[in-house]
Amino acid sequence: MRLKDKVAVVTGASGGLGAGICGAFASEGADCVVVYRSDRAEAEKTAAKVAGLGRRAEVVRTDVSDEAQVKKLFATTHDRFGRLDILVANAGIGVSRPLLDSTLDDFERVIRTNLIGTYLTVREGARLMAGRGGGKIVTMSSVHGLGGTHQGSLYEATKAGIINFTRGAAFDLSEWNIQINCIAPGAVPVPKDPPPAADSALYKAWMQYTPLGRFGTPHDVARTAVFLASPDTDWITGQVISVDGGITAGPLIPSFNHYGPKPKME
């Protein structure tokens, strides 16, 4: 087991990628703090999966955009487990809106959760790690942090910011033996965000530009998170790994604007 007896905090773990990462960590021997903001029932399901794999789980409600709540999260982690070895800053929200129709409130909302939330989570997690000799941090960007598309500028700005935040943090955290790396997932359908119909133009466009010819799964991303959380990456930091079926190897990402209906505000 690559993560035997490690303690991991995973934000945004009530479903989707976060739940998949918790399950993969537990299968590799880690205990998990399952962090959620609004859906406790789903977070409890994630915790039950961790427990079913023979590992300890703690469910903690946290709005990562709130500094006091983030500090409390890591105080709870210390009280419950005594240490922190792995952190995955996965919590985030999406916003799809044409730039000229957007509002400052739209932008501030996505910045507070995606960018400020990542900053607060990494800062407080790293403070706990620094006192115990180091650790592993994984941030979560997106292929939309590497390129633009219609109606995505607000979201894409935050995901691009996470990438360079990770690169800069790698320097500051190196003296504490903390390695921080970033995953940029491609199209990974989850129950709350299902894939387009197989006969739709958007589905065909994604497949046309995805060399591996399929959408991803939470397990695809989780396996990469396990790698980045393991001792295999002791000499890897400040890097971005695109887990996207190869779509960013090409020149573009299909634009939602061309393959209606237009996305709605989340």
pLDDT of residue 162: 98
Residues 112, 218: contact at Cβ < 8 Å? no
**Residue pLDDT, tens place only, 199-243:** 898 888 888 889 999 999 999 999 999 999 999 999 999 999 999
| Every domain of the chain and the residues it spans | 7-258
**Percentage above 70 pLDDT, the chain:** 94
Provide the β-strand partners of residue 180: 137
Encode 4-40 in three state secondary structure: CCCEEEECCCCCHHHHHHHHHHHHCCCEEEEEECCCH
**Residue pLDDT, tens place only, 105-119:** 999 999 999 999 999
**Residue pLDDT, tens place only, 57-100:** 999 999 999 999 999 999 999 999 999 999 999 999 999 999 99
Residue type, 227: F
pLDDT above 60 for 265: no
153-174 helix and 117-130 helix, angle to the nearest 10 degrees: 20
119 is catalytic: no
Instruction: Report how far residue 120's alpha carbon sits from residue 170's, in angstroms, rounded to the nearest whole number.
Output: 15
Candidates 119, 155, 203, 259; catalytic one: 155
Q: How many CB atoms lie within 10 A of CB 12?
A: 27
Instruction: Report how far residue 116's alpha carbon sits from residue 96's, in angstroms, rounded to the nearest whole number.
Output: 19
Statement: 7-258 belongs to CATH 3.40.50.2000: no
Instruction: Report how far residue 205's alpha carbon sits from residue 200's, in angstroms, rounded to the nearest whole number.
Output: 9
User: Average pLDDT for residues 184-198, to the nearest whole number?
Assistant: 89
Give the DSSP letter string of 229-257. HSGGGTT--S-EEEESTTGGGSS----GG
